[in-house]
Every structure is written in structure tokens, then in C-alpha cells.
Structure 1
């Protein structure tokens, strides 16, 4: 037995080293040289010829190096034959050998096997980009405010607007409807939405104006602002489900429905909402000290942004005033040129002067139109965000009120607990009073819990609202600036075209101008009303 143990150990040595080699198993079986069994003909580990039954021989053993590399197919050798296997030593911790002498291929770095690119699926290419479930289930609104008309007598005259709504929401009776609303109805909607949704930034209506409220430009700018307010409100993920918005958009007898709602909910006009149920002191004069640095930084940022927007609005108003002054100056210049052309005796000079007068009238119209477009494209965006900052500050005020409510409830709870401790020290002499105070302590703790949750929820809601405010601000200002620039470019192109046309008329001919032609009598041609015709008529009158 002793002599056979070393031999048995040496015969099992290759089998022990084989499991430690990291070699991928082949996925394709191929015959190796003349062995009909291929890789499956390897002898079992640890067996000897003496252990087999008589008459059974071991299959031919393969070299210990014969293993398939990490490939599913072997590269074909030139001539259509299969490449021979590698020979040499193999490192136990590497997947590939560095000894490539056994391969019948050119020298150099080994190229990776070709990989066929994945074919694009025709089904996926024809699919439309998917949207989220929330976006698919979210109702859409398209609200237009138009047809402003003045109604009422001299003392109660006001503007009435037609509010037309198209929606996919199932909460409304019809998908398309139209109602009549006046400006104070929009104010009611704004204040009611603020009361119903503390912490939400409600899109505000335009400010009230007593002087010039029936002017055409003012009515148009107010109409656009009211339309934008309603569309932003209907697009808000929280405000679009408010019952008062539905009442505003759908009610045919709006004033009657509002009075009925106020009788049913008498606290509606107090603008307290949920905070009033927690014992909040609306008129609290305590100065609020912000504990959250994030809200403190946002408040400082909003104050600076409001000041910058107000300065920008003043600059826009100054530029609009200058455009209107230039338009007025162009009108005066045109009138002076026309007067000069009427007294000028030389037709070669009176014609160009009159044409230049008409050109100044066109310039005046361009300046007037550009001034109005500046107000309706960029100025209205600046005014809207100044009002929106006021709405954000109102949401900050509601959060401060929730903070006061929370601490007021905590103070009341501490008072109840102090009274409870006092009664506990007195013993069982006032058991009834102790039970009452214990119930009050439990109720006070419940109020503190509700007030704290309301304050924390309002803080999270305001964070999302301020993020939404920033995203919409970027989009609205980008759109406003683009429209402002496009309007300015179109105005300048129109002016350049008019001036170039005028100069081409002046330089059309060297010997005779286009403004004067020798009089040719055409009995059948009716008299015209162009600049040249008027110049010829002036010459005929002078000759008479």
C-alpha cells in the first residue's frame, strides 16, 4: 500500500489543478483530432487501470491543456480546415493564454470575434413615445376669454367677458360651454382658491384700475391676463379639481350660486379655511422668525426678484413711451413735409417730398404697433410675475399662520398638562376634575399633532410650488423674449424695406425722376390718385 500512495497522488494531481482553472464551458461540441469522444473522453479523476473490470481499457487520455477557450466558435484556418488547439502552459487565473503558437493565423494582436449589430424592432419604431399614467389621466382644459363688451349705465358701467371652456374632464356636464363673467368674479375666484388651498401659489388676476379702464389697449391687455390666469389655474394639478373653479367656469347663475354657497358656508369670506379650525389668530402681531434656511433664502430671492422686475417694468414702460413719442414725431414730420410739397413750385421736388411724407406715415404706424406689441408680449409677462410673487408671499403668510397655530396649540397643551399635574399631586379629592382635565389634555395633544402635520405638509407643498414657479418662469420669460425680439425684427425689416423702396425710386433714372413725367393727355384714362397724379394735377393748376 505504501508504494502505491505516491503514484496515486501523482495521478490525481492534474485533476486537482483542473477545477481551479477559470475556463468557460463550451456551448458547441466538436471532435478533437481522431478521438471519437472528443472532450467527453477524458478519464475520470482518481481512477487507475487496476480499478477497472478485466477486459476494459481506458480511453485515450487527452493532454491536460486541452480545454476550449472562452468562445462559442473557433476561427477557421485558411483552406477550410479547423484551426488546431493551443499548446503550452496556461495560467490558472486568466481566461486567455498568451501563447498563440498553436494557432494558424497571422501574428499580431488577436481580434475580437465579430458581433452582429442588433436589428431595430419595427414594432418599437412605430410606437409613439409613451406618457406617464398621471399625464394620461390628467384632464385637459382650453379656456378662452373674449368678446369684451361694456354694459350698464353711466354709474354702474363695467366690462363683461365671455369665458369659453373646452375640457376632457368628466366632472363637468358638457365638454364645451360658455358663460359671462365680469372682473370682480375673477377676484372672487382668486381669493376663494387661496382660502381653499393654503400653501398653493394661485395665479393672480390683473390689478384693478379706475382711470382708463375702458380704453381699447387696456381692455385687451386685461383680457389676455385673465385668459392666462384661468389657463394656468386649470393646468395646476391641485387647483383644477377645486369645486369653486368648476362653479366659476360652468355656472349659468353665478351670483345666485355664490350667495347660496356663502349661506351654506358662512366662514367662506373670512379666508381662514382649515387654519381657523385649529384656533389660529389671524391678526397675530408676533414677528415670525424663519427657522428653515431654505425658505429664508427663497424669501430673500423673491424680494430681490420683485425689485428687479419692477425696475424692468419701468424700463419697458419708458421704452414704450419713447416709441409712442417717436410715432407722434413721425406724424408731425409727415404733416410738415406734406405742407411743404403743396407750396413747392418745382414738381421734381414736390413729388419726392410728398412721397417722403407718406413714408413717415408708415413709420408712425410701425412705431405705434411696435409699442403696443411690446406691452402685450413682454410687458404683460413682467406684470404677471410681479403679481405672482405677491401670490407666493401670500402663501408664505399662510405658512406663518400655520406656524403660529402650531405653537399656540402647544402652549394650550402645556397649560392643560400643568393643571393635570397639579390635580395629580392633590390626590383623589378631585377625581372628576382630573378626568375632565385629562380629556382636555388628550384633545390638546390631538390639536398639536394636527397643527404640526399641517405646518409640515404646507412646507412640502410650498417647496413643490416654488419649483413649479421657477420652471414656469423660465418658460414664460423665454417665450416673451422670443416674441419681443421677433416683433422688433419684423418692425425693422418693414422699415428697411420702405426706405429701400423710396431710395430706389429716387435713383431709378438719372435724366428724369419717377416722381415727374411730361404730361400726356389720355382722354379715355380716368384720373388717378397716386403721388405722381397729384403732382401732375398741381402742375396743370399752376399752368392755368
Structure 2
């Protein structure tokens, strides 16, 4: 019903709302960076010394209950965002709000503005084909829900991002309050001006990028290449296994099992064996379903998320380079200035502080991201191995159990003759 009703009205907002992980690499201009890089002593501690703090989770977020909304001009989905927390800065310990996808996009944008050299978790990317009804089917909606749940919980686990004021408002404000808060952000013309200045800054380039950031750029390029290749191969293997196991083997097994059950009704002496085979086939079919579900739910999403992370890392490194490019430009301007150098010197001092702050933020977050990445990928590969092992062990145990039962039955049938 939802899809049918929305065919002609899948427009505008939902084209911005729909995705499977956002690739916005817009740079923030230097002026806005100078204001956002100012932070309180407590946030500095959170940002640069978080590895020393105990790992105490005090913010729990759940994204669930997708709900469709059909209006005269658009069709969209909202999700319930339920929050439980023991943090003192929250007025209550529990909140429940509804958010649509564009609200998540707004949050990600605000986090990037406030923390330009922190690694913001990726969102589900834009759905490229517009007006496709399948984007409202249950599988798509569930895939998005899981991705949004992961997005918010990665922010909640971050020692700096989780204390962002916009994040708090996102979790607690009712829809009309959030709409009002959004209007307080920079205007469209202001954002366009920032983008133009950012592009001009990036064109100037960086002449003296520190070696450690040169190495980070090279690492991201290599990581992106490898993780994209891994994703491509994994999806091809999954598709080939799905095509074979489901379209050929699985469908054949589903027909094969019931035949043995039907046959057992007319073969009294073989009834036990035939029913046993039918049961084994049924269990193996269920094992196949678990195998494919495990791969699609445990491996592919993790690999794809880190493809999007590699894109985010490239954007973060560009924003860091932009800040340094501004400093390099001012230093060159100072060297050509013959009179009244004091204003330039003061501005250069501020830019040097900004570059140092940006570098420290990125280095701290880089280490944290890398640890999480290694842990997530190791866990995904381990899960993949366990899923495959469980599949083969379950099928093996099923058929071995049949052989054992048949051997016992044969032994019982032979015993009376042995006694004679």
C-alpha cells in the first residue's frame, strides 16, 4: 500500500532522505573553523586524553519502529530514537523522539562543522535511482534502520562527539523544536560562501604537509583500494553463493525432502529411513538460510561501512590541509609585506594555534578509529569463519545422526535372528 500510494509522490525531501552511506566532502571555510575550534577545558580533555579515561558507558540509544508517512507532496519514513542516559547535562534519564533521514543528515553536517578534524561516523549513502519503489520495501527500511542505529551509537561512544550540543538536541527535542533549532544554523548563502572560500583555499594546496600526515594520506589511499576490492569480491561471492544455493541447490532440496515424506506412506519397511532423510534435508535447508543471512548481516555491512569511513578520512585530511593552507598563505603574504606586519603576525599566531589544535584532534581520533577498525574487521572475519563452520558442522551432524539411527535400527532387526 505504501509503495503504491507513493509512486507519484516520491519527491524532493525523500530524494535527500534516502541512502545507504553519505559521501559529502564539503569543506568548512577557515573563518568558521576558527570559531568551532575554540573549546572548553573539559572538551579538550575529552578530545585529547580520552584513552586515559575509564570506559564507562552512560548513553544508550536505540533506533527502531520505522513508520511511513504519506502526504500530498511526499512519502517518507520516520524512526523512533529512544535514549537512556545517566548524564547530568540531560534533564531526564529517558527520551523518545521520531526522526526522519534528513534529520540524521543535518546532525552529521553539524558535527562536521563543529569538529572538522574528527572522524564522524558515516551515514547510509544516497540512493542513486530516484523514484524507485523498492526503496520503501521492508528490506531497505530495515537495512537503513540498522545503519542509523550504528551511526548514533558510534557517536554516543565517542568521547568528544557524544558531548556535542546538537547531538543532545537531536536526541531530546521534539520535532517542532528541532525544526526551530535547524533554522538557527548558517543560511544557504552563507554556506555557499563558505564552500567557495574552502575551494579557493584547497586550490592553493599545502606546501609543507608534515610527514605523519603524508603517511596518513598514503595509508588512506591504500586502505580505500583494499577495502573496496574486498567489498567487491565479497559481494560477488555472496551473489554467486546465493544464486547457486538458493536458486538451484536450495530450491531443489525444498522439493526433494517432501518427496521422501510422501514416499514413506507407501513403503512401510522404508518409512523410517525415508522420513529420516526428509528431516535431514529440511534441517540442511534451514542451515543454508542461516549461512546466507549470517554473511549478509555480519560481514557485508561491516566492510561497506569502512568503505564509507575511508571516504570520510579523505575528507577529514582535506579539511586539515585546508587549515594549513590558510596558514601557509598568510606566511607568504607576511614575507611580501613591507609595512605594518603586526596584524599579519597576530593572525598567523592564531592560525598556528588552529593548525596545532586540528592536528592533535585528528591524531587522537585517528588512533581511536584505527583500533575500532581493526577490532570490527577481525570480529567480522571471525564471525564469517564461525558461520561457515557452523553450517558444515550442522549438516554433518544431521546426516551422521541419520546414519547412527539407521545402524541402530538395523542392529535391532538382526538381533532376533542372531538369537535363533
CA distance in 2, matches of 1:200, 1:214: 33
Which fold has the larger relative contact order, with Cα–Cα distance below 8 Å and residues 6 or more apart in sequence? 2
Residues 479-518 of structure 1: matches in 2 within 5 Å?
479-510=379-410
Question: Unmatched 5+ residue regions in structure 2?
Answer: 1-49, 414-420
Residue aligning to 1:122: none
Task: Please report how far the alpha carbon of residue 167 of structure 1 lies from its aligned counterpart in structure 2 after TM superposition.
Answer: 1.5
CA distance in 1, matches of 2:71, 2:87: 39
Of residues 222, 232, 247, the one that matches 2:169 is 247
CA distance in 2, matches of 1:445, 1:456: 16
- Is the contact made by 2:330 and 2:344 (CA closer than 8 Å) also made in structure 1? yes
- Is the contact made by 2:202 and 2:321 (CA closer than 8 Å) also made in structure 1? no
Residues 302-313 of structure 1: matches in 2 within 5 Å?
302-313=220-231
Of residues 294, 300, 304, the one that matches 2:212 is 294
Can you list the C-alpha shifts for 1:291-332, whole angstroms capped at 9, x where unaligned? 322111221111111121122222322332244231332222
* Count of residue pairs brought into register by the alignment: 357
Residue aligning to 1:163: 81
Q: 1:373/1:381 Cα in 2 relative to 1: closer, same or farther (>3 Å)?
A: same
Of residues 173, 192, 200, the one that matches 2:118 is 200
Q: 1:348/1:281 Cα in 2 relative to 1: closer, same or farther (>3 Å)?
A: same
Residue aligning to 1:367: 288
Task: Please report how far the alpha carbon of residue 258 of structure 1 lies from its aligned counterpart in structure 2 after TM superposition.
Answer: 3.9
Q: 1:138/1:330 Cα in 2 relative to 1: closer, same or farther (>3 Å)?
A: closer
Q: 1:183/1:199 Cα in 2 relative to 1: closer, same or farther (>3 Å)?
A: same
Residue aligning to 1:333: 253
> Which secondary structure state, in structure 1, belongs to the residue aligned with residue 68 of structure 2?
strand
CA distance in 1, matches of 2:381, 2:73: 40
Residues 74-473 of structure 1: matches in 2 within 5 Å?
135=53, 140-152=58-70, 156-209=74-127, 212-253=134-175, 256-263=177-184, 265-266=186-187, 270=191, 282=200, 284-289=202-207, 291-324=209-242, 325-328=244-247, 329-336=249-256, 338-339=258-259, 342=262, 346=267, 348=269, 352-353=273-274, 355-414=276-335, 417-418=337-338, 420=339, 438=340, 441-473=341-373
Residue aligning to 1:77: none
Residue aligning to 1:524: none
CA distance in 1, matches of 2:153, 2:164: 14
Task: Please report how far the alpha carbon of residue 402 of structure 1 lies from its aligned counterpart in structure 2 after TM superposition.
Answer: 0.8
CA distance in 1, matches of 2:96, 2:107: 17
Q: 1:330/1:151 Cα in 2 relative to 1: closer, same or farther (>3 Å)?
A: same
More helix by share: 2
CA distance in 1, matches of 2:412, 2:208: 81
Give TM-score, length-normalised by structure 2: 0.74
> Which secondary structure state, in structure 2, belongs to the residue aligned with residue 448 of structure 1?
helix
Residue range with higher mean Cα deviation, 458-467 or 216-225: 216-225
Give TM-score, length-normalised by structure 1: 0.58
Q: 1:348/1:184 Cα in 2 relative to 1: closer, same or farther (>3 Å)?
A: farther
RMSD, matched Cα: 3.4
Task: Please report how far the alpha carbon of residue 335 of structure 1 lies from its aligned counterpart in structure 2 after TM superposition.
Answer: 1.1
- Is the contact made by 2:327 and 2:348 (CA closer than 8 Å) also made in structure 1? yes
Can you list the C-alpha shifts for 1:416-444, whole angstroms capped at 9, x where unaligned? x33x3xxxxxxxxxxxxxxxxx4xx4333
CA distance in 2, matches of 1:365, 1:159: 32
Can you list the C-alpha shifts for 1:150-177, whole angstroms capped at 9, x where unaligned? 3326973333211111122222111111
CA distance in 2, matches of 1:257, 1:151: 18
> Which secondary structure state, in structure 2, belongs to the residue aligned with residue 213 of structure 1?
helix
- Is the contact made by 1:331 and 1:360 (CA closer than 8 Å) also made in structure 2? no
Question: Unmatched 5+ residue regions in structure 1?
Answer: 1-131, 421-437, 514-544
- Is the contact made by 1:323 and 1:368 (CA closer than 8 Å) also made in structure 2? no
Can you list the C-alpha shifts for 1:77-119, whole angstroms capped at 9, x where unaligned? xxxxxxxxxxxxxxxxxxxxxxxxxxxxxxxxxxxxxxxxxxx
Larger Rg: 1
Task: Please report how far the alpha carbon of residue 503 of structure 1 lies from its aligned counterpart in structure 2 after TM superposition.
Answer: 2.4
